[in-house]
Chain A
Amino acid sequence: MKHAEHDEYAEASAQRELAEDGGIAEQGMEIVRRDGCVVIRGEVESEHRRDLIAQRVAAHFPHCEVRNDIVVVRVGRPMEAEELA
């Protein structure tokens, strides 16, 4: 039974979809409900994945503004090593 009209259930449902949907498989996203809007935070590997997550989460909150604050993680070479003596 779905009670998606309650934000708390919508958030849980969205989180499970992000983890369990074959095309997404993201477990580390944070969905924050704030003053009538929803902010999504987290870090992903590509812009495509970032936009797809925001699109899926927005579908769970049809009456809210959804702000996408997901970051694509950098992949440069580190500037220095950690010395473990």
Chain B
Amino acid sequence: MIRIAAVGDVHMDVDLLGRYRPALLELPECADVLLLAGDLTRHGSRREAQCVAQEFGGLQVPVIAVLGNHDHHGDEPDQVVEVLAASGIQVLEGSGVVIGTPGGRLGVAGVKGFGGGFAGRCASAFGEPEMKSFVRTTEHSAERLSKSLQELECDLRVALTHYAPVPDTLVGEPLEIYPFLGSYLLGEAIDSAPADLAIHGHAHAGSERGVTPGGVRVRNVAHPVIKHAYSIFNLDHGAG
């Protein structure tokens, strides 16, 4: 069994320093790894990234993250990644990592992902260049997620995204904004590996649990959804 802690949408800034730390220091008792599902900052500034590093870095378990849309707002995501990496937080974007745990080798592949919507109500790469660019951004992200997942050599495989791969975990959000919250293309990528578990954030008013068409369990760990410092998933071999 591999114990996975996960949270997203923590939106760190100086006003939150120390808020998560007491619960994070207890992580080695209950988890082998911490996954951060994007929107780690409010605007993607270097100062906010330093707050993330201070709050979530230097833990006794590996910390693996993807960025979210907020982390891109300052147009300097590379600087955010650099600051996080310096504190030992590994940021994935179209890439994967395998870590050894007492319960086996855990593979994590991650992308931020993007929107577009879900089957029957999704955007198409058609018409204006802006529309085609929007959809192709998601297509590209999903392709990179699929490839990264398939390349992992591990015992259990987890997909980590910011945007949602299924509509199930968006229940509670206004239907009108589903296309801005995720895409079925991410779900299709997760099923292509397949993953044993998919973790995402972004949907603050969504719900916690869902499943892909291929049967992969999906968990929305946006902080306002889980209402704890993190969720813990005990993932057994044969899950998924």
Contacts and interface: CB of A to CB of B under 8 A. Distances in A.
Interface of A: 22, 25, 27-28, 30, 42-43, 45-46, 48-49, 73-78, 80-85
B232 A73 contact: no
Given A30-B205, A42-B204, 19 more contacts: A25-B70, A43-B204, A45-B11, A46-B15, A48-B15, A74-B228, A75-B20, A75-B228, A76-B23, A77-B23, A78-B226, A78-B231, A81-B233, A84-B196, A84-B197, A84-B217, A84-B239, A85-B236, A85-B239
A45 B39 CA distance: 13
B236 A84 contact: yes
Nearest to B29: A77
Contact of B227 (A73, A81, A84): A73
A1 to B, nearest CB: 24
B238 interface: yes
Given A22-B43, A25-B43, A82 B232 contact: yes
B92 to A, nearest CB: 21
Contact of A82 (B19, B70, B227, B231): B231
Given A74-B228, A81-B232, A85-B239, A25 B11 contact: yes
B235 interface: yes
Nearest to A82: B233
> Which 6 residue pairs across A and B have the least CB separation, nearest first?
A81-B232, A43-B224, A28-B204, A77-B23, A78-B228, A85-B236
